[in-house]
Chains A and B, each alone.
Chain A
């Protein structure tokens, strides 16, 4: 059942279009992420659902009722703010109890619920602590308990893990998932961290420049990106600009820099001569001679430019004759020890390891794309 629905939301600040035509249904108990780089409109979307901002046009529906003009204090949404926004003059228990006291609940119930909520987030015994006496992770948990105490229609989380270090962030990701399962409330999670979104979400809305590029499950978004932006933003992708030469049933033939390649049509029909993008994930790119899973999809001549041991895989970067950089993640079965920097290599992939993004590629985006903070975890 749909709990929250946003429909054709448009929001501008002066000349700047923050959101354009956002439409999304969020089901009861679903974990939905708004994912995108900063300035893509994801926080604006969340604030419109919370009622802190109002859309220029479009509507927000909760349980089927239009809620556009209702102020935040009468919406029953729970928000976890980026900086937590805990009340510094109140203890953890009083912070959590705030929402209950506002609703004039009896004192006995307030105390019991506050204790329960703090227990749910794993903070038993910290009731009397003030925010400044707690670590970032603990403050985060208090904020979560505070937002959940009124059993809101949806919990809105605005980059809540951004300020935590990598280890703690991973712990909190799993914690959030566990808490969400326990309370069964719709979670709307805003983040710029694709790994975070992949780990926790049932569905992800990938946004850029106010537009929604794709809405889908993590698997769909990773394996079948709708646009070159999505392909590059989620994980690492090798992108090649190609031209359609022909289609025979499920198989599409394309011409790209350095050869002729094959890919699956995935139910789409391609016009001969149209420009599209071929995506090969680094784990699907291997040196020729290594085992291929399925029929060959293509290959390309290149020179190894770097080999970096990363534990489970060796990150192998190569450069094609056309000057395009590609990255392959090589496992032990790919025999990476036979490669050396500066030596020529033919990189190959299977037809199922390639995916056609039905969109022409900006020439500047050819080659490997990945977000800067993808691996630093900063």
Chain B
């Protein structure tokens, strides 16, 4: 009898993994795959006028115009996002390193401070920066005395890149901190014992071991930064518009759903391709500890 019950339990148990998976799978189906399919259908539709209903007619022209008309905006988006990612690494890595190695008992507090900006809305923070960087702000007027009266920060590419860097910085610091925190820093003693300098030990041991964090942080900064529209809108000018700005404008102002959908799909495909190449290049497999 007992044996029978046991095998029954086992047989039932076989389906447990699927049961546990199903909430996630259903979620993905409903809120990711279905919307993407709808988006894809919209991107191949035609909408003759502002208030007409789009009709599906394999309108590939939406895609060719995405490249012909907005190619330069795509390039600009990726250049801005890429620059912001590099800046975030250059600023975030030393900060994360300092907290992980010198933070001592203040570690958790310091990491808490990194997250503090999230308590204010993203939009409000960006608008605050636009007033800090505005032409009439004392910061800028002071700098104008040095660099001449034409000097300005707001509405330049650097304002947008700076905004992106600032807004996504935490997403860089946190994963780098986590990967540094896991490293046994006694390894640097071993390296020193073998004749290595502090810099050599960092370059050959600590840095390679923290690359998974840099990799994760880069994705977390680059992907949202490439599709961002708030920074370009509040800190930039029409000349610095990013692809997110265009999509937002097409969708919410001009109601040009097919073109907005095509641009979104193109953005998604390019980013996916970039991530695949990047992960191949920085392959984290061999680094798994």
Contact = CB atoms under 8 A, between A and B. Distances in A.
Interface of A: 50-52, 71-74, 76-79, 81, 83, 85-89, 98-99, 102-103, 130, 132, 146-147, 149-150
Interface stretch (B2-10, B182-190, B218-226, B231-239): B182-190
A98 B189 contact: no
B196 interface: yes
8 contacts: A73-B194, A81-B190, A87-B205, A88-B209, A88-B289, A89-B208, A98-B196, A102-B200
A99 B287 CA distance: 21
A76 B287 contact: no
Interface in B18-56: none
A73 B190 contact: no
Nearest to B183: A88
Contacts of B197: 73
B192 A85 contact: no
Contact of A72 (B189, B287, B289): B189
B194 A99 contact: yes
A85 B195 contact: no
B195 A102 contact: yes
B91 interface: no
B125 interface: no
A89 B287 contact: yes
B175 to A, nearest CB: 17
A99 B204 CA distance: 12
Interface string B261-289: 00000000000000000000000001101
B206 to A, nearest CB: 10
A185 to B, nearest CB: 14
Contact of A89 (B186, B189, B190, B205): B205
Nearest to A96: B194
Contacts, number: 68
A98 B186 contact: no
B186 A99 contact: no
A139 to B, nearest CB: 12
B193 interface: yes
B194 A85 contact: no
B195 A87 contact: no
Interface residues of B, number: 20
Contact of B186 (A72, A73, A85, A88): A85
A147 B193 contact: yes
A331 to B, nearest CB: 47
B191 interface: yes
Given A87-B187, A132-B289, A50 B193 contact: yes
Contacts of A87: 187, 190-191, 204-205
Contact of B189 (A52, A76, A102, A146): A52
Contact of B193 (A72, A83, A130): A72
Nearest to B193: A79
Given A85-B187, A88-B209, A132-B289, A98 B204 contact: yes
A79 B190 CA distance: 7
Contacts of A83: 184, 186
B289 to A, nearest CB: 5
Given A87-B205, A89-B209, A102 B193 contact: no
B195 A150 contact: yes
A72 B188 CA distance: 11
A98 B289 contact: no
A85 B189 CA distance: 9
A99 B187 CA distance: 13
A10 to B, nearest CB: 23
Given A50-B193, A89-B289, A98-B196, 13 more contacts: A71-B192, A72-B193, A73-B195, A86-B190, A87-B205, A89-B209, A98-B194, A102-B191, A102-B195, A102-B200, A103-B195, A146-B190, A149-B194
Nearest to B185: A85
Given A87-B205, A102-B200, A81 B186 contact: yes
Interface in B53-103: none
B233 to A, nearest CB: 43
Most central of B187, B194, B208, B289 by chain A CB within 10 Å: B194
Nearest to A50: B193
A87 B190 CA distance: 9
Contacts of A79: 189-190, 193
A145 B208 CA distance: 23
Contacts of B287: 89
Contacts of B184: 83, 85
Nearest to B205: A87
Contacts of A99: 194-195
Contacts of A147: 193-194
A270 B274 CA distance: 87
Interface string B198-213: 0010001100110000
Contacts of B205: 87, 89
Contacts of B204: 87, 98
Nearest to B184: A85
Contacts of A86: 190
Contacts of B208: 89
A102 B289 contact: no
A50 B190 CA distance: 10
A102 B200 CA distance: 8
Contacts of B196: 73, 98, 102
A243 B200 CA distance: 63
Contacts of B190: 79, 81, 85-87, 146
B193 A78 contact: yes
Interface string B166-191: 00000000000000000010110111
B187 A73 contact: no
A153 to B, nearest CB: 12
B215 to A, nearest CB: 14
Nearest to B188: A85
4 closest Cβ pairs, A-B complex: A99-B194, A85-B190, A79-B193, A72-B192
